[in-house]
Structure 1
């Protein structure tokens, strides 16, 4: 019995380590942009609408972080555009677009994040 438990633990450690080596490595610029976008979401006063429910900024950021981590482990994210398209724009379960509700109205999270990415690349950030 102990031998089987030990064997399973060794296999689990092996698979965890192997998945880390398989993870896509982003260049520093892409990683910085994605982190800035995640921070933008996390500090936003806007509500994040996902599958008909409103989430506060901190929960929205945590959700998007978990999605991007998963996608990185699958080698599916190479840049900030991939992050926006694959993690930040719609529900993986329902396919429904995410929206943000700010003081000036609602918009898709995709257009909101793309506008912020453009501001990042131009060297400044706007308030959400």
Structure 2
């Protein structure tokens, strides 16, 4: 019960952000799809989950935040929905192909950078 109260208090303190614009919505959908199809494992609150379950969890958390106007950008999505547990405060981790686990925020930011670089390169042609 204390953890739930802490979670609500933390989220209550976040400033309202509005709704994500079309570009951010596209990027967020892309990141969720990349995670789900990555074959990576996702660590949350002491357990490893497959990428499909990771997407489901993050998508539910994202939807909750959007309903409350707490995510307006892709960076806020990563920070508020996909970086760590609001229950335990522990960071989420991603591990691909039995490699080293890394913070999910880093993994998602790398994927976002790749998407934006690819978009910039294709727009420069």
Instruction: Give the TM interval when normalised to the shorter protein.
Output: 0.7 to 0.9
Cα distance in 1 for partners of 2:92, 2:60 equals 16
| Higher Cα Rg, which structure | 1
Identify which of 48, 53, 60 aligns with 1:54. 48
Residues 23-47 of structure 1 deviation map (CA, whole Å, 9 limit, x = unaligned): x432110100000011011111110
* 4+ residue runs over 4 A deviation: none
* Paired position in structure 2 for 1:92: 86
Q: How many residues align?
A: 101
Identify which of 36, 49, 62 aligns with 1:42. 36
- The alignment yields a C-alpha RMSD, in angstroms, of 1.1
* Paired position in structure 2 for 1:117: 112
Structure 1 unmatched runs, 5+: 1-23
TM-score of the pair, normalised by structure 2:
0.77
Structure 2 unmatched runs, 5+: 1-17, 120-125
Cα distance in 1 for partners of 2:19, 2:90 equals 29
